[in-house]
Amino acid sequence: MMIPQQFSLTRTISLKARVYETLVHLVLLTSALVAVGVTIGIVFSLAFETFEFFKRVPVKDFLFGLEWSPQTAIREDQIGARGSFGAVPLITGTLLISAIAMIVATPLGLASAVYLSEYAGPKTRSVIKPVLEILAGIPTVVYGFFAALVIAPFIRMVGTSAGLEVASESALAAGLAMGLMIVPLISSLSDDVINAVPQALRDASCGLGATQSETIRKVVLPAAISGIAGSLLLAASTAIG
């Protein structure tokens, strides 16, 4: 008499498990379709706006125009009724700011990575490494706000004291802020790459009489150069973006 009851109970549990798996499958499928749908919607919306933009602005003027002034008035009789949409100033400004950012961030990021991986003790590393990770997660708008309130006035003050006229919206201020933003990215990635270099290479170099700095310069960094180059490329793409 117990066998039919056990069979019925097992069948009920199996049925509930199948229903549960079906619901989970539907939820996951819906999530995937929503993600795909949102991506497609973004692409179509950008394509539509791009089509509408180039209906009003010729492609030649956009690609080779030397003036960017997107302010347009509501009425034709207002000042600035026709905006200028040349992309050359945007491209050159982006490249200039990115170059300044990389000049600032590359030595700072690599130096901090070398210190963390080769010189810092466990306690120091346990403090500095999480702080760098936190800095890497700060939103870009915060760095922009910091640049507008601190970096730009400081550069203007230094330029004024040196007899130079420096605008608050200079590329130097933006490049310095962007450089500070990507320092944690370069440092964190380069630190991981340097730590991945086998300890046997360091031991062999020290066994041949090389100092620690010589080992880092002539053994560790050349062995990790591909990963360091990848971190610099990623930082550059972040700055350009």
Same domain, 93 and 196: yes
Buried b (16+ CB within 10 A) or exposed e, 79-113: eeeeebbbeeeeeeebeebbebbbebbbebbbebb
Each residue of 121-178: pLDDT tens digit? 888 888 888 888 888 778 878 888 888 888 888 888 887 787 777 776 778 888 888 8
The residue with tokens 């990790």 is 224
pLDDT band, residue 8 (cuts 50/70/90): low
One-letter identity of residue 48: F
Same domain, 92 and 133: yes
Same domain, 77 and 91: no
Q: Which among 234, 124, 123 is positioned nearest to 187, based on CA atoms?
A: 234
Same domain, 182 and 205: yes
- CATH number, domain of 218, equals 1.10.3720.10
Q: What is the residue-wise DSSP string for 121-160? A: -HHHHHHHHHHHHHHHTS-HHHHHHHIIIIIHHHHHHHHH
Same domain, 210 and 95: yes
pLDDT band, residue 10 (cuts 50/70/90): low
Phi, psi (deg, nearest 5) at residue 228? -65, -40
Q: How many residues does the chain have?
A: 241
Same domain, 50 and 77: no
Would you say the pTM of this structure is higher than 0.85? no
Q: Which among 221, 234, 208 is positioned nearest to 118, based on CA atoms?
A: 221
Please give the sequence-ordered ranges of beta strands (E in DSSP) within the chain, or none if there are none.
68-69, 84-85
Residue 76's domain comprises: 58-86
Same domain, 192 and 135: yes
Cβ contact 67:87 at 8 Å: no
Same domain, 151 and 94: yes
Same domain, 225 and 112: yes
Buried b (16+ CB within 10 A) or exposed e, 152-188: beebbeeeeeeeeebeeebbbbbbbbbbbbbbbbbbb
Each residue of 40-85: pLDDT tens digit? 999 998 888 888 888 877 878 778 877 777 666 555 555 555 667 7
Classify residue 118 as exposed, middle or buried by CB count within 10 Å of its CB (0-12, 13-18, 19+): middle
Give me the number of domains the chain comprises.
3
